[in-house]
Amino acid sequence: MGSRLHFTAKELDIIEGFSDGTFQPDRAATRAEAVVFIVKTKEYDLGGAGICTPGDPSTYPFPDVPCDHWAK
């Protein structure tokens, strides 16, 4: 069951639910989700960092994360 902290983070738009409409506060966060949490919490402006060319893995900041990943 989610804690008050989870629901406060949701209210502040630091975390979001899933595309299927669920909110899974007890599921472990992925690396991508954790980075999004940090960026949103700190209100970082990444200034286009991580821009890559779809289909060209040599330009991907992380070889296992494609350009069209939801956390871009």
Domain boundaries, the chain: 4-59
16-57, pLDDT tens digit by residue?
778 898 878 788 888 888 888 887 777 765 555 556 777 787
Tokens matching residue 40: 């949103």
pTM of the model: 0.49
| 21, burial (CB in 10 Å: exposed 0-12, middle 13-18, buried 19+) | exposed
pLDDT band with cut points at 50, 70 and 90 for residue 71: low
pLDDT band with cut points at 50, 70 and 90 for residue 15: confident
Instruction: Output the pLDDT for position 32.
Output: 83
Answer for the pair 26, 59: CB distance below 8 angstroms, yes or no.
no
